[in-house]
Amino acid sequence: MSSKQAVSDVLDHKQPEYIPIGMYAIDCDTVGRIIGHETYVRNKVKTQLALWEGRRDEVAQSLREDSVELFKKLPCLDILIPFKEAQLLPPKGYIPVKPKRLDDKTWADTDGNMFIMSELTNEFALVKSGHVETLDDYPEIVEFTPPDESIFEAYDCLVSAMTESRYIAGISGGFSVLPLPGGMEEGLIKYILEPELIKAAVRYELNLGLMKDQYYIRPGVDGIFIEDDFSTTISPLISPEMFRAFSFPAMSKRVAELKKHRNKVILHSCGHTWPLLDMIAETGVDGYQSLQTGAGMEIGKLKAQYGDRLCFWGGVAVEHLITGTMDEVRADVRRAITEGAGNGGFILGPSHSAAFGTKYDNFMAMIDEHDKLKYSTK
């Protein structure tokens, strides 16, 4: 049985010949161990600095070559999200405006945005926005210029190399149904104080995504992968009632429109989303990826309550991959397969990603234990 068939069976709620496995993303430290050299693939700080310095083509070459090499060396992975390891790029010939470095960890650009580098997660975080959103930022008539094809250079290369052998969950024109204008705290306050701004932002993002789909949904992809974080580890960011009012209608329409392009849509959303799962299933989403175990998203309970409506992808705690032991990781794999594999509808993977800081031995233990058990339901 091929990877495509195994994943397709899962998404159709059929029992596959074996339990497939996939990663939301594999960060640069693990990638480097696998391919044997440093890379720009998922190396967020190194990549951003190179792009600010105008070394776009250098980044593109690394993403093209190293992402393909990575997955050739991981033939066990059945489903790929290619825009994670082969990100979209600035167009060829673009002229970057390099932010000013304020200290060892802080940069500021000419628009008033401030970025802080995190060595723990190997990424830049926007800590101050130089722009305050108003209704003028979200006009009813959306203007959109088709993208330069060169932005897809690395992405198309990886899709082309893997489309015959793996199930490809590709990018769309965008998905944002819980916008947070001005950042987390300010954005959440606006749901109470400026609901018309939030409604305009949701409408604008919906219409923009619909316009972009024809360019961003590329040949060679089997399904579509969307993502938006709706929750903390404790609860949704907004109440279920507010989610139904602000986000649910747009999400339902967005999923329906995406299914005109591909018949399967997989959602990534972190955190404790239990209070929203009825609505998530109602939108027509086929698969749910993340299953943040630390937020109570346990595969056995999810399958018992929603297994006839949603397929689930995850089960191995990312915390165990980073700070745990190989025995803990192997136990996660056994538990996830035991609880999730029956009656189809399950893909094994981390509860988020093979995040920066993942122990290489733990990563390999996850793959090895899956290999031992993937036929165990037969």
Residue 251 lies inside a defined structural domain of this protein = yes
Structure confidence at residue 128 (pLDDT): 86
Residue 108 lies inside a defined structural domain of this protein = no
Q: What pTM value is reported for the model?
A: 0.97
Identify how many contiguous H helices and E strands the chain contains and give both numbers.
15, 11
Residue 219 lies inside a defined structural domain of this protein = yes
129 pLDDT higher than 90:
no
Q: How confident is the model at residue 64 (pLDDT cuts 50, 70, 90)?
A: very high
pLDDT, tens only, 321-359: 999 999 999 999 999 999 999 888 999 999 999 999 999
Q: How confident is the model at residue 376 (pLDDT cuts 50, 70, 90)?
A: confident
Q: Can you say whether residue 51 is alpha, beta or left, with left for phi > 0 and alpha for psi between -120 and 50 degrees? A: alpha
Report, as an integer, the average pLDDT of 53-58: 97
Question: How many distinct structural domains can be found in the chain?
Answer: 1
377 pLDDT higher than 80:
no
Least confident of 126-140, 210-224, 259-273, 276-290: 126-140
For the four alpha carbons of 210, 211, 214 and 215, in that order, the dihedral sign comes to negative
DSSP strands (E only) in the chain: 79-80, 100-101, 106-108, 114-118, 123-128, 167-170, 223-227, 265-268, 287-289, 311-316, 346-350
Alpha carbon of residue 371 to chain centroid: 24
The two beta strands, 223-227 and 167-170, are parallel
The two beta strands, 106-108 and 265-268, are unpaired
Residue 84 lies inside a defined structural domain of this protein = yes
**Could you give the CA distance from residue 23 to residue 349 in angstroms, rounded to a whole number?**
6
Selection from 91, 190, 78 nearest residue 133 by Cα: 190
Greatest CA span in the chain, whole angstroms?
Answer: 60
Report, as an integer, the average pLDDT of 87-113: 94
Show the tokens assigned to 162.
Answer: 């893997």
Residue 139 lies inside a defined structural domain of this protein = no
Q: 254 to each of 208, 275, 283, 309, how far by Cα in Å?
A: 11, 21, 9, 18
Range of the domain at 209: 3-98+149-373
User: Mapping DSSP to helix (H, G, I), strand (E, B) and coil, where does residue 169 land?
Assistant: strand
Structure confidence at residue 5 (pLDDT): 97
Q: How confident is the model at residue 293 (pLDDT cuts 50, 70, 90)?
A: confident
Residue 130 lies inside a defined structural domain of this protein = no
Residue 132 lies inside a defined structural domain of this protein = no
Q: Is 141 exposed, middle or buried (0-12, 13-18, 19+ CB in 10 A)?
A: exposed
- Those residues whose C-beta lies under 8 Å from the C-beta of residue 346, and which sit 6 or more positions away, are 10, 19, 299, 303, 311, 312, 313, 315, 336, 337, 340
**Could you give the CA distance from residue 6 to residue 373 in angstroms, rounded to a whole number?**
15
Mean pLDDT of the chain: 96
Report, as an integer, the average pLDDT of 357-371: 98
378 pLDDT higher than 60:
no
Structure confidence at residue 169 (pLDDT): 98
**Could you give the CA distance from residue 361 to residue 325 in angstroms, rounded to a whole number?**
9
**Could you give the CA distance from residue 107 to residue 123 in angstroms, rounded to a whole number?**
13
pLDDT, tens only, 38-48: 999 999 999 99
Domain holding 249: CATH number? 3.20.20.210
Structure confidence at residue 219 (pLDDT): 97
Residue 277 lies inside a defined structural domain of this protein = yes
At residue 54, what is the residue type?
G
For the four alpha carbons of 146, 149, 152 and 158, in that order, the dihedral sign comes to positive
- Show the DSSP H helices in 181-239 as ranges: 184-193, 195-216
